[in-house]
Amino acid sequence: MKTLSSYLDSHFKESFTIQEVGLKLIPEQNSKIRAKLESLEQRAPAISSINLKFTNEGKEIFGELTITGAGRKFYSGVRGKKPLKIYYSLENEVNKQLIQWKKTRFLNQNFSSTIIEGQEQLTGGYAL
């Protein structure tokens, strides 16, 4: 059974990283952010990586959230004083980008515009 366990462990690793530059998240913040990143992983493109970075800039913290996958890059950068609030703002902006991507990701590839008797119609990848 140990063999199966090590096989599963290598395939179910987190696809996100959290970098802390010049600061250290307290355990409560870290666990809340990790839980949110796990949820974000489910909404991100299938094969993607997520990078969250907090940089201490003296009086403020700069947070960056980047998702790279499906030939796209989703990004947000926010300054603030509290890492958890910064993360929520970052996630909110990236969620908007993901929603827009999901609405339009197949339109360019699978649909073509066809004119039939003066009316333009979208077809599901097949010419009418």
| List of domains in the chain | 15-103 (3.30.160.100)
Q: What is the largest CA-CA distance in the chain?
A: 66
Mean pLDDT within 40-66 = 94
Query: Taking all residues of the chain, what is their mean pLDDT, rounded to a whole number?
Result: 81
Mean pLDDT within 70-94 = 95
The beta-strand segments (E) located in the chain are: 16-21, 48-56, 61-69, 72-80, 112-116, 119-123
Contact between 55 and 65 under an 8 Å Cβ cutoff? The reply is no
Give the pLDDT band (50/70/90) at residue 119. Answer: low
Please tell me the least confidently modeled range out of 37-41, 82-86, 107-111. 107-111
Give the pLDDT band (50/70/90) at residue 68. Answer: very high
